């Protein structure tokens, strides 16, 4: 993957991934205190990140992927795999997974795409929205990311990057957990 020098990003290292995981785990834990992340528009928007929304070629958002991963962790996660879709697939892995929120019963279709052995990502599409009123603040731009965007072509990354900035762990966490 190429990372253009004019796009704010952080190199993906073991240390930066650990910091990203800790930041996002902390944010999800905070959302779970009063509600669930399904009630946070900013959580939903980031987990739905897909480059097609910007008419761009393949772009990976590390923050979005790790947020989904954290949400699915057994010890912290609130999403549990409840089904597999094997017909009319959107993803590349033989089945799109269905996850259900343990708190509000909202279901999501988890779609995995792979563009080469080192470039794959996941995004969520809500199937049945059962979360009701939002607890979190509305989506505002620019959205702070801790890691940034990666892809094959600079122009594709730039198309997606218009809505994002690079932020600190506190800025990312505060953005995701902001109340309505």
Is residue 29 domain-resident? yes
Lowest mean pLDDT among 2-6, 111-115, 123-127, 169-173: 2-6
Compute the distance between CA of residue 90 and CA of residue 103 in angstroms, rounded to an integer.
Answer: 26
Residue 128 lies in a domain: yes
Q: Is the pLDDT of residue 5 over 50?
A: no
- Output the six-digit token pair for 141: 């731009």
pLDDT given for residue 62 in this prediction? 95
d(CA 102, CA 117) in angstroms, rounded, equals: 32
The pLDDT mean for the chain works out to: 92
The answer to whether residues 141 and 64 touch, using CB atoms and an 8 Å cutoff, is no
* Whole-angstrom distance, CA of residue 162 vs CA of residue 164: 6
In a domain, 151, yes or no: yes
* Cβ atoms < 10 Å from Cβ of 18: 10
Q: Quick check: 35 and 135 in contact, CB under 8 A?
A: yes
Q: Provide the domain limits for residue 123.
A: 14-177
2: pLDDT confidence band, cut at 50, 70 and 90?
Answer: very low
In this prediction the pTM is 0.93
Q: What pLDDT shows up at residue 7? A: 63
For 123-167, write each residue's pLDDT tens digit.
Answer: 999 999 999 999 999 999 999 999 999 998 989 999 999 999 999
Domain presence at residue 9: no
Report, as an integer, the average pLDDT of 32-36.
Answer: 93
- The domain total for the chain is 1
Classify residue 166: in a domain, yes or no: yes
Residue 114 lies in a domain: yes
46-90, pLDDT tens digit by residue?
999 999 999 999 999 999 999 999 999 988 779 999 999 999 999
- For residue 51, being part of any structural domain is answered with yes
Q: How far apart are CA 56 and CA 13, in angstroms?
A: 26
pLDDT of residue 6: 54
DSSP string, 49-71: --GGGGT-S-EEEHHHHHHHHHH
Residue 55 and residue 151 in contact, taking contact as beta carbons nearer than 8 Å: no
Mean pLDDT throughout 39-48? 98
Place of tokens 């033989």: 94
In the chain, the percentage of residues whose pLDDT exceeds 90 is 80
- DSSP letter for each residue of 105-142: --EEEEEEEEEETTEEEEEEEEEE----S--BPPP-SS
Do the domain assignments include residue 104? yes
């Amino acid at each position: 993957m190429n990372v253009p020098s004019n796009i704010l990003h952080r190199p993906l290292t073991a240390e930066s991934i650990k910091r990203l995981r800790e930041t996002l785990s902390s944010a999800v834990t905070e959302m779970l205190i009063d509600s669930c992340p399904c009630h946070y528009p900013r959580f939903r928007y980031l987990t739905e990140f897909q480059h097609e929304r910007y008419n761009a070629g393949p772009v990976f958002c590390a923050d979005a992927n790790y947020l989904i991963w954290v949400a699915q962790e057994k010890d912290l996660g609130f999403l549990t795999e409840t089904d597999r879709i094997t017909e009319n697939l959107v993803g590349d892995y033989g089945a799109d997974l269905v996850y259900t929120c343990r708190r509000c019963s909202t279901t999501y279709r988890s779609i995995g795409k792979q563009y080469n052995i080192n470039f794959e990502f996941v995004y969520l599409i809500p199937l049945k929205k059962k979360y009701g009123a939002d607890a979190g603040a509305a989506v505002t731009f620019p959205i702070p990311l801790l890691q940034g965007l990666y892809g094959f072509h600079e122009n594709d990354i730039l198309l997606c990057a218009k809505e994002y900035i690079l932020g600190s762990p506190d800025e990312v966490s505060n953005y995701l957990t902001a109340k309505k």
